[in-house]
Structure 1
Amino acid sequence: MPKLSPLQRSRFGGTERRHEPPIDEDAPVSRDDLVKGPEEVLEDHQAHVNWRVLLISSAVILSFSLWAMLMPGEARAAMKAVVGWISTNLGWYYVLTVTIVVGFVLWVAFSKEGDVRLGPDQSRPQYKLVTWVAMLFAAGVGIDMLFYSVTGPVVQYLQPPSGAGGTALARQEAVVWTMFHYGIAGWSMYALLGMAMGYFAYRWGMPLSIRAALYPLFGKRVRGALGDGISIIALVGTVFGVATSMGIGVVLLSVGFSLLFGLEQGLALQIALVAVAVALTIAATTSGVDRGIRWISELNLWSAAAMMLYILFTGQTAFLLNALVENIGRFLVTLPERTLQTFAYEPGGAEWMGGWTLFFWAFWLAWGPFVGVFLARISRGRTLREFVIAAITAPVLCDFIIVSFFGNSALFEVLQGNTAFAKLAAESPEEGWYALLAMFPAPMFLIGLATLSGLLFYLTSANSGAMVTSNFSTSIPDPSHDGPKWLRIFWAVLTALLAIAMLLAGGVTTMEYATLIFALPVTIIAYLVMASFYKALRMERADREGQVLRRRSIAPTGGHVPERSWKQRLERLRAFPSLRQVTQFLDRTVRPALDDVAAEFRAQGYAVEQTVVPGASGVDEPVLRVMLDAFRAFHYHVAVVEAPVPMFSGRMSRETDLYYRLEMFTQTGSGGYDLMGLTRQQVIDDVLERYEAHLAFLTHSMESDTASVLTPRMPPAG
């Protein structure tokens, strides 16, 4: 068995040199690195209800609901006063926060770390691109878009935030403002929280939660009161966002049901629609028809597409297409200016901002954790770059089509002199929306189709909201699992109660007030997530640059790929081993080699762990870990990976022939090479090569001035 050289022993530490703990003991730094995250974020590995989060968040929401129902006038006046203060004094803060979020996600997408995957390096997407993009759209589009798609452009044309209404400039800006409010800003918030939660869940094995995404900042403290406080903020904000969407939805749908079935409009019908959403959520939970809810989610896309095509081809087709192209162009050209616009020099600018831009920014912030969980669940295996680019382009384009077709159809009527419709759309958005539909051919057919589409959006949001809020109040180790069914029912009922309370306290206006207020604490979470995720990406960069440093200065074999003899290389070109052959090689060569290395490490005073993990192929895979005190442990995992046999002359394909590889994995993914065919000595050499590369990574990390759980400061000499 080969001995470690004196040079290796001095570099490895052994009994002669051990790392000291970081000197900044007061900083929020855990002694363990990210690989310890699953143990430190979770109290145990069994799913259980977090009663502190559940009880406190429920108490906040229930107290607000009772206040709004018992004293609606006082509640509305108090919220109006708070919103006025926020609009005047903190409007800049909302604007700046959203701008920073947009810049951050774009930086992630176009940086070198954009190649990092939401999962191990070898992971690949579960869904095809078209399916995935369709699911992205379904995740973030709610019935509120239909509500504002007509009233938004009409109001901005008649009463723009600056300048006179009814002018040529107001016409150009009217639809673009609504597109801006439903554009990149909101989806950037979704992308931020989605990629952060997905990264820590799928790449580091942590729960799919906000607190796990903050582990690099706070270490094991995310498991205690601090993490619970963060979860409560995210949960309360999410419930208010979902309740607002439900409230807006029933206000709109009540008009459609009145037109279709002759029902009397009013609060009673709206409350009945809220009850329908709760009943369907309970039915889906208790009777196992979740597949039906997923079917509804897909059906709403087709119904929305049918509605758009009907409006396009039975309406002003040429005008709508020309306007869509111009709207998108103007949106792109004016986006930087619009993003930082606060209307500080305009009389009444703060009031306009509070009623429009700030409300939408707060709405996206409140919906961010909700939609982020769903985006993460469907995006395992995607790179950060494709995740961000897809999230801020494909669904945004769909949003633009809906807003542009509805908004420009409404503007066309206003420009023809239909002042009665303009007044109705501005003062009663729900009636204005249906009034526009009634102007198309076969109006009852379109009204029925539009009501169906809105109902499907409404039911999807209500059911998904109940599922996500139950997850937020539960500690769930497995990202693919959900909270208990009874808790899902509880949140469906409580969210419905909140929606009814806001309807009683003043309807849509009160919902806008509440969203703007309760989303304010969520902005803090956005900043913490960006800081935490940035530190994690620094670790990815340090790992890569440490490998480059290792290859330049130390590697005797020209890199990390194990050196093979020419006969081994020739034999490897034609070998496509079966699972049985790979398993035999693993048992006869790799495991003994790892045992030899582990024994020598222990003999020289190292703390070594040898474990096995179940592989996807059914083979137990060996893992060797060398502890390095306060620093990130060395991790060497040999995994059985299925691969397609290369296609030679078109005779073979993935469906007809597979072979297996033995790939080496660190904490951050595959080394990209196959150990099959190596000798026992070559495997040992590869372990030592990797260990030296890991020390180079730590050396590079400790050169950083900032201490964190990822890159602790270098202890002082002596």
Structure 2
Amino acid sequence: MSDKSDNDRSVFKVSVGISVIFVLIGVLIPNQLGAAMEVAQSFVLESFGWFYQLVATFFLMFALFMIFSKYGKIKLGKPDSKPEYSRPAWFSMLFSAGMGIGLLFYGVSEPIAHFSTPPTGEGGTEQSAIVGMRYTWLHWGLHAWAIYAIVALALAYQRFRKDAPGLMSATLYPVLGEKVKGPIGQTIDVVAVFATLFGVAASLGLGSQQINAGLEYLVGIPNNFMVQMIIMGIITVLFIISANTGISKGIKYLSLANMSIATILFFAMLILGPTLFLLNMFTTSLGSYLQNLIPMGLRLAPFDESEAAWTQGWTVFYWAWWVSWTPFVGMFIARVSKGRTIREFTVAVLLVPSVVCAIWFTVFGGTGIFLEVTQGLNVSGQALETALFFVYQHLPLGIILSILTVALITTFFVTSADSATFVLGMQTTGGKLNPSNRVKVTWGLILVASTAVLMASGGLAGLQTAIIVSALPLSFIVLIMCYGLVKELNQELKGQQPYEKEKTVKKKIAG
């Protein structure tokens, strides 16, 4: 028991120590940090873009395999366990933790960016509108949620079926055995901590930028770095308060509030925007997406530098971002998914959010494209964080929509940070389902400080670099995790699990 406690303390101390050093470097020599991160980003994108494309496609194929495989009826928990949360509450927490801020930040800006500057062909055309929408769906659809589903599935299986700690290292026990309890396992958990830290930092950076943009539009507050730091400071207090209330109160209620506001915002945009155009755009984009799913997910353009740069800057970046978020989102989804079968879990995590994301981007991005094409508005010329509010200016009830959006970004911000501190606490306390408030507050402060340092040293590019670099080693860990999961499930079906033997013995005794 003491060895386990020592390992837990080691992961916490090493992770906090490295995080503090990183923050200090960012404070003392931000320019040098920014330059080093730029070099690292270029190296990883150019040298490992092919790898990210292949593994993202593999993860999608693996998730589909789990749905239709013989393992589908196995429950994430003991045979008699029941789901802890209702389906509406489950979906609400899944969305809020998974992609909340990004849906608002990129809702208009990404489809309109691809429409204006598509990966191939001329921009600003009918064809580029369809291409832009289907690539947005690619980045936020089946590939992304497959990555989440695999990690969440492995974590939930080990935690609730095998009573293992809720740690990334525990998912590799079928492959590494007792080595996961030593330095190798600690290293895996530290890698997961930093992938989580940088992945969530990117979302918090985007959130503070867009809240600032919304406040500039509504009340004229300047849009600059200092204001964004003040916003982050205020929200830090809010999410620390929320984190101290626990997952069944703070995160659950905020997630339900998020879904309610997001639903209102979605239907308002659908009704106030070009409704028929959006319905036609969705149908056309769906066909184009399904027809080109595999080619888009493996596209690299080795003979065209500009197309290759587009793929690296968008698609490869997204795959890295989703991989970096897997310890965070995966652990959180696993935590709230006890009692689901593998088939139910995988179908829900893979398909339902993908469809909702597709509809969301069609309504918001399609409205932006419609305004630019039919009214000549320069939507594509807006900054990423301001494009949504620019669209609101040209719709009825734009002020009300903007107020709702700022409120929603704020609650998404609090929920994401709240969930992240919870997961970071789990990762650095041996997988405790309820880490102490002291640990959560420590990680909350480090998370905000890291976000500030990354924004100061490189802005959005700095956040992207941290994601791309930290996700690379984690990608290999997830690949090994897939092998270990199949190995463990095969043993289960052969009746080699200790609790299954115990259950059989009890039945015989009872008989």
TM-score bin (small chain): over 0.9
The offset of 1:665, in angstroms, is 4.1
Check whether the contact 1:304–1:453 (CA below 8 A) recurs between aligned residues. Answer: yes
Check whether the contact 1:149–1:178 (CA below 8 A) recurs between aligned residues. Answer: no
Structure 1, residues 264-294: CA drift from partner, whole Å, max 9, x if none? 2211110011112221132234577972442
- AA paired with 1:525? I
Equivalent residue runs for 1:64-463 within 5 Å: 64-286=22-244, 291-416=249-374, 418-424=376-382, 428-463=383-418
- Distance in 2 (CA, whole Å) between partners of 1:257 and 1:404 is 25
Work out the number of aligned pairs and report it.
511
Q: Which residue of 2 aligns with 1:485?
A: 437
Secondary structure of 1:421's aligned partner: coil
Cα–Cα, structure 1 residues 533 and 287, in superposed 2: closer, same or farther, change >3 Å? closer
The offset of 1:493, in angstroms, is 0.3
- Distance in 1 (CA, whole Å) between partners of 2:120 and 2:244 is 52
- AA paired with 1:284? S
Secondary structure of 1:348's aligned partner: helix
- AA paired with 2:494? A
- Distance in 1 (CA, whole Å) between partners of 2:165 and 2:229 is 36
- Distance in 1 (CA, whole Å) between partners of 2:427 and 2:349 is 23
- Distance in 2 (CA, whole Å) between partners of 1:634 and 1:431 is 55
- AA paired with 2:312? G
Structure 1, residues 40-96: CA drift from partner, whole Å, max 9, x if none? xx945xx78822212222233333333333333333232222222222211000111
Check whether the contact 1:254–1:265 (CA below 8 A) recurs between aligned residues. Answer: yes
Segment of structure 1 superposing worse, 507-516 or 232-241? 507-516
CA RMSD of aligned residues (A): 2.3
- AA paired with 1:529? M
- Distance in 2 (CA, whole Å) between partners of 1:149 and 1:634 is 47
Q: Which runs of 5+ in 2 are unaligned?
A: none
- Distance in 2 (CA, whole Å) between partners of 1:417 and 1:361 is 35
Check whether the contact 1:118–1:199 (CA below 8 A) recurs between aligned residues. Answer: yes
Q: Which residue of 1 aligns with 2:485?
A: 533
- Distance in 1 (CA, whole Å) between partners of 2:247 and 2:179 is 39
Q: Which residue of 2 aligns with 1:711?
A: none
Cα–Cα, structure 1 residues 419 and 79, in superposed 2: closer, same or farther, change >3 Å? farther
- AA paired with 2:447? T
Segment of structure 1 superposing worse, 242-251 or 76-85? 76-85
The offset of 1:417, in angstroms, is 5.1
- Distance in 2 (CA, whole Å) between partners of 1:363 and 1:101 is 14
- Distance in 2 (CA, whole Å) between partners of 1:526 and 1:289 is 26
Structure 1, residues 340-391: CA drift from partner, whole Å, max 9, x if none? 1122232323321221111111110111111111111221121111111111
- AA paired with 1:452? A
The offset of 1:395, in angstroms, is 1.3
Which residue of the other structure, out of 508, 513, 528, is the alignment partner of 2:460?
A: 508
Secondary structure of 2:494's aligned partner: helix
Structure 1, residues 93-149: CA drift from partner, whole Å, max 9, x if none? 011111111111211221111111111223332333344333332331221221112
The structure in which a higher percent of residues are helix is: 2
The structure in which a higher percent of residues are strand is: 1
Secondary structure of 1:112's aligned partner: coil
Structure 1, residues 208-264: CA drift from partner, whole Å, max 9, x if none? 111211111111111110110000000010000111110011011111122333322
Secondary structure of 1:365's aligned partner: helix
- AA paired with 2:418? N
Secondary structure of 1:165's aligned partner: coil
Structure 1, residues 571-608: CA drift from partner, whole Å, max 9, x if none? xxxxxxxxxxxxxxxxxxxxxxxxxxxxxxxxxxxxxx
Check whether the contact 1:137–1:394 (CA below 8 A) recurs between aligned residues. Answer: no
The offset of 1:325, in angstroms, is 2.0
Check whether the contact 1:281–1:489 (CA below 8 A) recurs between aligned residues. Answer: no
Q: Which residue of 2 aligns with 1:465?
A: 420
Which residue of the other structure, out of 477, 480, 496, is the alignment partner of 2:448?
A: 496
- AA paired with 1:498? S
Cα–Cα, structure 1 residues 435 and 384, in superposed 2: closer, same or farther, change >3 Å? same
Check whether the contact 1:162–1:346 (CA below 8 A) recurs between aligned residues. Answer: no
Check whether the contact 2:92–2:255 (CA below 8 A) recurs between aligned residues. Answer: no
The TM-score with structure 2 as length reference comes to: 0.94
Secondary structure of 1:80's aligned partner: helix
1:542 aligned onto 2:494: yes
The offset of 1:527, in angstroms, is 1.1
Check whether the contact 1:50–1:475 (CA below 8 A) recurs between aligned residues. Answer: yes
- Distance in 2 (CA, whole Å) between partners of 1:337 and 1:343 is 11
- AA paired with 1:72? P
Check whether the contact 1:277–1:462 (CA below 8 A) recurs between aligned residues. Answer: no
Q: Which has the higher contact order (CA 8 A, sep 6+)?
A: 2
- AA paired with 2:435? G
- Distance in 2 (CA, whole Å) between partners of 1:214 and 1:118 is 17
- Distance in 2 (CA, whole Å) between partners of 1:127 and 1:519 is 31
Secondary structure of 2:175's aligned partner: helix
- Distance in 1 (CA, whole Å) between partners of 2:413 and 2:498 is 48
Cα–Cα, structure 1 residues 454 and 286, in superposed 2: closer, same or farther, change >3 Å? closer
- Distance in 1 (CA, whole Å) between partners of 2:29 and 2:134 is 38
Equivalent residue runs for 1:659-678 within 5 Å: 664-665=503-504
Check whether the contact 2:243–2:422 (CA below 8 A) recurs between aligned residues. Answer: no
Cα–Cα, structure 1 residues 343 and 65, in superposed 2: closer, same or farther, change >3 Å? farther
Cα–Cα, structure 1 residues 280 and 438, in superposed 2: closer, same or farther, change >3 Å? same
- Distance in 1 (CA, whole Å) between partners of 2:333 and 2:500 is 30
- Distance in 2 (CA, whole Å) between partners of 1:207 and 1:267 is 40
Cα–Cα, structure 1 residues 635 and 241, in superposed 2: closer, same or farther, change >3 Å? closer
Structure 1, residues 653-691: CA drift from partner, whole Å, max 9, x if none? xxxxxxxxxxx447xxx97xx976xxxxxx4xxxxxxxx
- Distance in 2 (CA, whole Å) between partners of 1:534 and 1:542 is 12
